Amino acid sequence: MKIARTLIITAVAALPLLCGAQEAASKSSEDGMELADVIARYAKRSGKKFIVDPRVRAMGGLIGIDADKINYEQLLALAHVHMFVMVPTGDLIVVMPDANARQMPSPVYTDLKFKALDDEWVTLLLTAKNACTANLVPILRPLMPQAAHLAANPYSNQIIVSDRAVNARRIAGLIERFDAAAPGGRGCQDWQPAVVPAK
């Protein structure tokens, strides 16, 4: 009788621990949802349509964010963390590895004050007045992720930036400062294309 009573007391005492463990497991499951599942929840709530690349298999760690209340800006940031990008194409949003983003039709801006969410992929075309854009590429390229693109046309003294908006703004700001500090009106007049000798 004493043994049975002891077992009952032990079982009752363990109930809060079991409930806590189940709650923790549930929370852990919520925090470690697959990115595709988070996108599916957002799509159902927002009515937006997504095409998800089969390589999008990351686990989205949501801490302090309810997967059922996530907004588009947070969804973009979550994709960014896992090196994916969301590119609007017509009435669809294509989700893919960011390595392919620069080949997609992203919005093109020519104004430093362009409006885009920080983690949206954009293309920025800038014209320098004083600095030679070809000389800026090797200075600025290390400040950009591997998936981004930076190239200059010395003949028109233009530079193209393809990256997430937050970093495109930073690069554009640096270009503006280099341009302001350069001797007036020279641009790429003295620039010569590199000649690689034949082997």
Task: Label residue 79 by pLDDT band (50, 70, 90).
Answer: very high
What confidence score (pLDDT) does residue 197 get? 56
Under CATH, what is the fold of the domain 30-98? Ribosomal Protein S8; Chain: A, domain 1 (3.30.1370)
Q: What is the dihedral of CA 55, 90, 110, 178, to 10 degrees?
A: -10
Q: pLDDT tier at 75 (50, 70, 90 boundaries)?
A: very high
Domain boundaries, the chain: 30-98, 106-181
Kindly report the number of other CB atoms within 10 A of residue 188's CB atom.
18
**Phi, psi dihedrals of residue 113, rounded to the nearest 5°:** -95, 30
Q: How confident is the model at residue 73 (pLDDT cuts 50, 70, 90)?
A: very high
- Say if residue 125's pLDDT is above 80: yes
pLDDT of residue 1: 52
Tokens of 89: 């194409």
Looking at per-residue pLDDT, the higher value among 136 and 193 belongs to 136
**pLDDT attached to residue 182:** 87
> How far is CA 92 from each of CA 48, 50, 87, 120, rounded to the nearest angstrom?
7, 6, 8, 15
CA dist 82 and 90 (Å) reads 24
Kindly state the average pLDDT of the residues 133-147. 95
Residue 87 CB neighbour total at 10 angstroms: 20
18, 21, 26, 32 alpha-carbon torsion, rounded to 10°: -160
pLDDT of residue 116: 94
According to the model, what pLDDT value does residue 12 have? 41
Assess whether pLDDT exceeds 80 at residue 113. Answer: yes
Query: Does 106-181 match 30-98 at the fold level?
Result: yes
What pLDDT is recorded for position 49?
95
Distance CA 122, CA 162 (A): 6
Q: Which residues, 6 or more positions from 84, have their beta carbon under 8 angstroms from its beta carbon?
A: 35, 53, 56, 58, 95, 96, 97, 98
Confidence of residue 67 (pLDDT cuts 50, 70, 90): confident
Answer whether residue 94 shows pLDDT above 90: yes
The whole-angstrom distance between residue 101's C-alpha and the CA centroid of its chain comes to 10
Q: Which pLDDT score, from 0 to 100, does residue 187 have?
A: 66
Which position has the token pair 């801006």? 109
pLDDT (average), residues 110-116? 91
Token output for 58: 């990351």
CA-CA distances (angstroms) from residue 147 to 18, 88, 161, 167, 197?
46, 18, 11, 12, 30
Q: Residue range 132-161: average pLDDT?
A: 95
What share of the chain has pLDDT > 90, as a percent?
A: 57
What is the pTM for the complete model shown?
0.75
**CATH class for domain 106-181?**
alpha beta
Q: Starting at the earlier edge strand, list the strands of the sheet with 84-89.
A: 49-52, 92-97, 84-89
